[in-house]
């Protein structure tokens, strides 16, 4: 029996001070190749796992789950693979939309969606619209997202307002309001699966004070228990850091 006020993850009695988790879902292609399957099989398994981890995060009362689904670098992959990835949002919502609605999950996206095929954009905007009044987990997909790209866009938008005379003083709060994550709680925890220990142009500004957890587990094998383990690392580190 754990003490009251302590974060607890056993049974239904779960509690975390972690509001925003971001994940680089790495290792899908390698996971598939290890079992002599196509990389696309890994991507499909990875998208099923998005559903599993989103439901787990919702149950754990996490407010926001930001997932790196497609980076600005991913366009350099073979055309067949890119084409397959473009179909995943539709496959995902066809399979899981009813369940996401039942669970009160709200879909969001960051990144430049304008480069995606019209149908992919439509499917995504439709999901965002259908779930806009849900009050559970915000499932935020980073799509054609790059951290430097986001910062440059913010700088240009700010420059524009300064030129127009509608903006004068630029501090951290003002700058943040021009980022795509504006309005969301700060990223408490960033997890990268599958062994690499890099940020790879994910949320550059937002990760300034985040706890970073790297695991060798590949994304299709990353289960609720692995999320809970990462949350425990977060709780222990932030308690030590904040408890002075
Ligand atoms: C492939 C692992 C879900 C990462 C997860 C377009 C690589 C599976 C989505 C998805 C991808 C995106 C938006 C949305 C609903 C679902 C997804 C992509 C790749 C790139 F509104 N999984 N997933 N999108 N993978």
> Is residue 208 within a helix (H) or strand (E), and if so which, with residue range?
none
62 token code pair? 């996490």
Taking the centre of ligand 1 as the mean of its atom positions, its distance from the CA of residue 141, in whole angstroms, is 8
E-strand spans in 180-221?
189-192, 211-214
% of residues, the chain, pLDDT over 70:
93
Choice among 52, 74, 134, 201 that is catalytic? 74
pLDDT for 244 equals 56
What number does the ligand 1 atom closest to the CA of 219 have? 2
73 token code pair? 């670098």
> Is residue 25 within a helix (H) or strand (E), and if so which, with residue range?
none
pLDDT for 10 equals 53
Distance CA 177, CA 165 (A): 17
Can you tell me the mean pLDDT for 138-153?
98
Taking the centre of ligand 1 as the mean of its atom positions, its distance from the CA of residue 16, in whole angstroms, is 26
Of 67, 71, 74, 72, the residue nearest 49 (C-alpha): 67
Atom 14 in ligand 1: residue holding the nearest Cα = 89
Of 148, 155, 149, the residue nearest 114 (C-alpha): 149
Q: Which residues contact 18 (CB under 8 A, 6 or more apart)?
A: 62, 188, 189, 231, 234, 235
Distance CA 45, CA 220 (A): 6
Can you tell me the mean pLDDT for 8-29?
81
pLDDT for 96 equals 98
The reply to whether 26 belongs to the active site is yes
For residue range 62-81, list pLDDT tens digits in order: 999 999 999 999 999 999 99
What number does the ligand 1 atom closest to the CA of 86 have? 6
Taking the centre of ligand 1 as the mean of its atom positions, its distance from the CA of residue 88, in whole angstroms, is 6
Arithmetic mean of pLDDT over the chain: 94
* Ligand 1 pocket, mutate which of 22, 88, 127 (most atoms under 8 A from CB): 88
Delineate the domains of the chain, giving CATH numbers in brackets: 17-145+187-235 (3.40.1180.10)
For residue range 162-177, list pLDDT tens digits in order: 999 999 999 999 999 9
% of residues, the chain, pLDDT over 90:
91
In this prediction, residue 4 has a pLDDT band, given cuts at 50, 70 and 90, of: very low
Atom 2 in ligand 1: residue holding the nearest Cα = 46
161 token code pair? 């307002």
pLDDT at 56 over 70: yes
pTM of the shown model: 0.94
pLDDT at 242 over 90: no
For residue range 203-220, list pLDDT tens digits in order: 999 999 999 999 999 999
Distance CA 76, CA 142 (A): 17
Of 126, 134, 122, 143, the residue nearest 67 (C-alpha): 143
Contact in structure between 106 and 132 (CB atoms under 8 Å): yes
Of 105, 208, 89, the residue nearest 144 (C-alpha): 89
HSE-CB for 61 with a 13 A CA cutoff: 10
pLDDT at 8 over 60: no
Q: Say if residue 111 is exposed, middle or buried (CB neighbours under 10 Å; 0-12, 13-18, 19+).
A: buried
pLDDT at 38 over 80: yes
pLDDT for 186 equals 98
Which protein residues are within 6 Å of ligand 1, measured from CB? 25, 28, 43, 46-47, 50, 69-70, 85-86, 88-89, 92, 107, 124, 127, 141, 143, 219
For residue range 85-140, list pLDDT tens digits in order: 999 999 999 999 999 999 999 999 999 999 999 999 999 999 999 999 999 999 99
């Amino acid at each position: 029996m754990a003490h009251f006020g302590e974060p607890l993850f056993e049974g239904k009695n779960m509690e975390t001070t972690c509001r925003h988790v971001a994940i680089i879902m790495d290792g899908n292609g390698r996971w598939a190749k290890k079992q002599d399957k196509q990389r696309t099989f890994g991507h499909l398994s990875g998208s099923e796992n998005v559903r599993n981890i989103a439901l787990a995060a919702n149950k754990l009362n996490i407010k926001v789950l930001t997932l790196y689904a497609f980076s600005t670098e991913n366009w350099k992959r073979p055309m067949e693979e890119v084409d397959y990835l473009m179909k995943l949002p539709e496959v995902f919502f066809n399979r899981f939309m009813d369940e996401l609605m039942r669970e009160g999950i709200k879909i969001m996206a960051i990144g430049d969606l304008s480069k995606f095929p019209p149908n992919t954009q439509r499917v995504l905007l439709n999901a965002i619209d259908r779930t806009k009044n849900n009050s559970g987990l915000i499932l935020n997909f980073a799509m054609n997202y790059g951290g430097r790209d986001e910062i440059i866009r913010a700088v240009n938008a700010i420059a524009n307002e300064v030129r127009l005379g509608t903006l004068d003083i630029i501090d951290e709060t003002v700058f943040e309001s021009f980022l795509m994550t504006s309005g969301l709680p700060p990223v408490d925890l960033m997890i990268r699966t599958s062994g690499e220990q890099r940020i790879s142009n994910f949320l550059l500004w937002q990760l300034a004070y985040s706890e970073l957890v790297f695991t060798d587990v590949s994304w299709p094998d990353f289960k609720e228990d692995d999320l809970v383990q990462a949350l425990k690392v977060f709780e222990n580190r932030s308690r030590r850091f904040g408890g002075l």
